[in-house]
Amino acid sequence: MQLKLPEKTIERLSQYRRILLNCSANGKEHIFSHELAALLNITAVQVRRDIMFLGYSSLQRKGYDIRDLIHTIGNLLDNQEIIHVAVIGLGHLGTAISTYFKGKREKLDIVAAFDIHPDKIGKVIADVTCYPMSELNDIVKQQNISIGMITVPPEQAAEVADRLVTAGIKGILNFTTVPLNVSPDVYLEEYDMITALEKVAYFVKK
């Protein structure tokens, strides 16, 4: 049975892995919990608590083995098979996401994009082909797509979400400013960049 962890723990484990990959690329082999904590502005106690969920322990004199910890986190976060992702809305944001994310994770692959504008249909961005929305159901099934990232204008978000759910999508990442309602068996993650920016602005205002 798969271990079910709190959402915030999953977020931090993903962040740990990203930092560990950078450390490994720079030739670092071991890291202590307080070093990892300092890079994320959290406490060493939190790091140790999160990693304990994995059943993983460190060598006290050397700290965590970086490559081994990357592998252990991957065993928890990653699916055994590659999970296919689609981007819906190939505007500036959708194009940027497709370009940036391609190849970042072995077990997550953006395999298709969708749009309603004729001038975008057939375009290939970072090896990702853009299809018309009318082919959504067929492409989702053909390419076994499980996750949809919504980057369309806000007024189209709810309709797109409904179409994704109908097509069989199991997870949605919503980049629009419109909160969505989906069926309980679909995992929804919403990221509102305007709210995030306003939050930062609040803390820097005089």
Long-range contacts of 72-76 (CB under 8 A, 24+ apart): 73/13, 73/16, 73/17, 73/20, 74/17, 74/107, 76/3, 76/5, 76/13
How many alpha carbons lie under 13 Å from residue 133 in its C-beta half-sphere? 18
Residue 1's pLDDT band (boundaries 50, 70, 90)?
very low
pLDDT tens-digit readout, 128-142: 999 999 999 999 999
Q: Within 10 Å of residue 157's Cβ, how many Cβ atoms?
A: 23
Chain center to CA of 85: 10
The tens digit of pLDDT for each residue in 60-114 reads 678 899 999 999 998 888 877 899 999 999 999 999 998 988 777 778 899 999 9
Measured between alpha carbons, how far is 19 from 23 in angstroms, rounded to an integer?
6
Q: Token pair of 127, please?
A: 């090896």
Q: Where do the domains of the chain lie, and which CATH numbers do they carry?
A: 7-77 (1.10.10.10), 83-196 (3.40.50.720)
Alpha carbon distance 161, 149 (integer Å): 9
pTM of the entire structure? 0.75
Tens-place pLDDT, residues 141-167:
999 999 999 999 999 999 999 999 999
Is pLDDT at 192 greater than 90 in this prediction?
A: no
Reply yes or no on whether the pLDDT at 3 is more than 80.
no
Average per-residue pLDDT in the chain?
A: 90
